[in-house]
């Protein structure tokens, strides 16, 4: 939970926790334990690198809400605006221009809000 709070921010985690129901409780527990407890804490990649990989995967799969959240997290993890732009340019080639076009629009909105 500590890593999840550090990467996504306490406000996001508090909202997700408050919105947990008996139906979603097991899922929230799963992602907290596996994504944030096992994967994001592994020593093989630093958080900046994990953010780059995550942004790419979210663009490729069209997970726009998660993309916005992880653009904010990427800034928290130390990626510069130019580095985020470079990741999105890379996705244009390997994930497709339409996916990158949407990603640039979402990222711009998030970055403007920050």
pLDDT at position 17 is: 94
Query: What's the predicted TM-score (pTM) here?
Result: 0.92
For residue 69, what are the contacts with CB-CB under 8 A and spacing of at least 6?
A: 8, 12
Mean pLDDT in each 10-residue stretch from start to end of the chain (114 residues)? 95 95 96 95 97 98 96 98 98 97 98 96
pLDDT at position 95 is: 96
């Amino acid at each position: 939970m500590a890593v999840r709070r550090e990467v996504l921010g306490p406000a996001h985690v508090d909202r997700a926790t408050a919105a947990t129901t008996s139906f979603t409780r097991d899922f929230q527990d799963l992602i907290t334990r596996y994504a944030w407890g096992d994967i994001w804490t592994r020593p093989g990649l630093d958080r900046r690198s994990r953010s780059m990989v995550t942004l790419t995967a979210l663009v490729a799969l069209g997970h726009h809400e998660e993309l916005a959240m992880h653009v904010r997290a990427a800034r928290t993890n130390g990626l510069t605006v130019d580095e985020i732009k470079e990741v999105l340019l890379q996705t244009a080639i390997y994930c497709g221009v339409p996916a990158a076009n949407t990603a640039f629009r979402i990222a711009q909105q998030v970055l403007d809000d920050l």
